[in-house]
Amino acid sequence: MRLIAVPLDVMLEDFDIVIEDDRWAAVDLEARAHAAARATLGHLGLDAEAAEMTLLACDDSRIAALNEDFRGKARATNVLSWPAEERGAVTPGGDPLPVAPGIDGMLELGDIALAFETCAAEAAAAEKPLDAHVTHLIVHGLLHLLGYDHENDPDATLMEGLEREILGKMGYDDPYKENGP
């Protein structure tokens, strides 16, 4: 396993990608991350150029260890998020607390991790391109960094609605649409 840090261009001031698994080369992760961040932050009226965050592209084993360490769940998952600060809504279905720039004017958002095997298996099961599914999961992770959640029905309705709107503007299908007749 190799570790590569890929700093992104000026589209996002401080957005690093750390690639721990070579299989992520199958996805243009830099393009997906940029597009998802610009679309998500822009949709919410935030300046993507002032965003600070890190994306870890790892495998199921690594994310399972992180999931156990941070959530007490010893299993792989598709995406994990660590917000820089707690921004959750005061009431279910309400908007989270706004992101305030730091002294340097930057928006410290936090960290996201994606697991290759789980993401690839979910994309295949849903008959979706891996790029599209990964883009959805980055949008999903970003919304978590911004204080959105899906722990109860009102919060899930709000968050999933935002995901549909953001991904729709990006030209992607509704990620929650059921396949089949």
d(CA 6, CA 35): 16
The CA distance from 137 to 32, in Å, is: 10
What the block records as the tokens of 180 is 């089949």
- Phi and psi at 63, nearest 5°, equal -70, -30
Q: How big is the chain, counted in residues? A: 181
The CA distance from 130 to 127, in Å, is 9
Verdict on whether the full-model pTM lies above 0.85: yes
Q: What is the pLDDT of residue 33?
A: 92
Per-residue CA distances from 74 to 53, 69, 71, 114 (Å): 25, 8, 8, 16
CATH, range 4-169: 3.40.390.30
Tell me, what's the pLDDT at 179? 56
* Residue 48 Cα to chain centre, angstroms: 14
- Mark the binding-site residues, compressed into ranges: 140, 144, 150
Query: Kind and range of the H or E element at 112?
Result: strand 107-115
Detail the residues annotated as belonging to a binding site for Zn(2+).
Answer: 140, 144, 150
Q: Residue 121: CB partners within 8 Å, gap ≥ 6? A: none
For the chain, domain boundaries: 4-169
Q: Under 8 Å CB-to-CB from 72, ≥6 apart: which residues?
A: none
Q: Per-10-residue mean pLDDT for the chain, 181 residues long?
A: 36 74 93 93 92 95 96 96 92 91 89 98 95 97 96 94 97 80 41
CA distance 142 to 161: 14
